[in-house]
């Protein structure tokens, strides 16, 4: 098992599907199905991303999500924290104060400052978080764009447009049924 769950992987992959959407919202269902992952799972992830102010929701048949901010300002660290919650590397229980020699009370020196073991873990956690903060959603999208062939962006856009058109015509048919 890994430290980060599949939610981070699914969330980040699906968010990449918003990069070329412009002002047109895309539903979490379409983003999930485009990526080949569970729509129910992705719906829960996008609710967290909305709560964290990373995406905004638009209602209606043409509704869905769009990025709340420029992807250059959205760091991978923010995404991980939004999806997983802020989870520390190490949870110091301050057991340094439990030494058998301290049966008459914990001396001041023993719990002064940060525990030496905790300090090492905090340093390692900072290194990891700094690395995640140094990359943005736009950086990842840019790398993907450089890899994909020329037609991939247009094919992607056409796929999402078709889904929206299908939903709209389905909805119009449904409305006709209701009024006929």
Residues that bind a copy of itself (CB under 8 A): 1-4, 6, 8-10, 12-13, 33-37, 76, 87-93, 95-96, 98-101, 107, 109-110, 112-113, 116-117, 119-121, 123-132, 135, 139-140, 143-144, 147-149, 152, 155-156, 159
Least Å distance, CB 61 to a copy of itself, is 20
Closest CB to a copy of itself among 126 and 168?
Answer: 126
C-alpha pair distances (Å), 3 with each of 6, 41, 86, 120, 177: 10, 19, 12, 18, 50
Q: Which is nearer to a copy of itself, 69 or 143 (CB)?
A: 143
- Among residues 177, 170, 162, 161, the alpha carbon closest in space to that of 22 is found at 161
Taking the least distance from each CB to a copy of itself, the nearer of 59 and 109 is 109
Q: Which is nearer to a copy of itself, 88 or 174 (CB)?
A: 88
Taking the C-alpha atoms of residue 66 and residue 38, their distance in angstroms, rounded to an integer, is 19
What tokens does 135 get?
């990359």
Q: Which of 65, 88, 87, 80 is nearest to 134 (CA)?
A: 80
Sequential DSSP letters for 106-160: --GGGGSSS-HHHHHHHHHHHHHHHHHHT-BHHHHHHHHHHHS-TTHHHHHHHHH
* Residue 13 CB, nearest approach to a copy of itself (Å): 6
Q: Tell the smallest beta-carbon distance from residue 170 to a copy of itself (Å).
A: 18
Cβ distance to a copy of itself smaller for residue 48 or 75: 75
- Whose Cβ is closer to a copy of itself: residue 144's or residue 173's? 144
Shortest distance, position 164 Cβ to a copy of itself, whole Å: 14
Residue 112 Cβ vs a copy of itself, minimum distance, rounded to whole Å? 7
Minimum distance, C-beta of residue 57 to a copy of itself, in the bound complex (Å):
22
Nearest to 45 by CA among 88, 75, 84: 84
């Amino acid at each position: 098992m890994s430290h980060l769950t599949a939610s981070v992987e699914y969330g980040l992959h699906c968010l990449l599907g918003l990069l070329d959407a412009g002002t047109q919202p895309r539903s979490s269902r379409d983003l999930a199905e485009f990526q080949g992952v569970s729509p129910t799972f992705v719906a829960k992830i996008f609710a967290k991303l909305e709560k964290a102010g990373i995406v905004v929701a638009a209602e209606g048949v043409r509704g869905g999500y769009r990025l709340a901010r420029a992807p250059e300002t959205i760091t991978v660290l923010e995404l991980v924290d939004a999806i997983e919650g802020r989870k520390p590397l190490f949870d110091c229980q301050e057991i340094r104060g439990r030494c058998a020699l301290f049966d008459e009370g914990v001396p001041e020196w023993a719990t002064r400052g940060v525990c030496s073991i905790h300090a090492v873990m905090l340093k390692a956690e900072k290194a990891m978080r700094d690395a995640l903060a140094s990359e943005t959603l736009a950086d990842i999208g840019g790398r993907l764009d450089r890899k994909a062939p020329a037609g991939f962006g247009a094919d992607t856009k056409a796929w999402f447009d078709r889904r929206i058109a299908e939903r709209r015509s389905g909805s119009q048919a449904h409305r006709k049924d209701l009024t006929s």
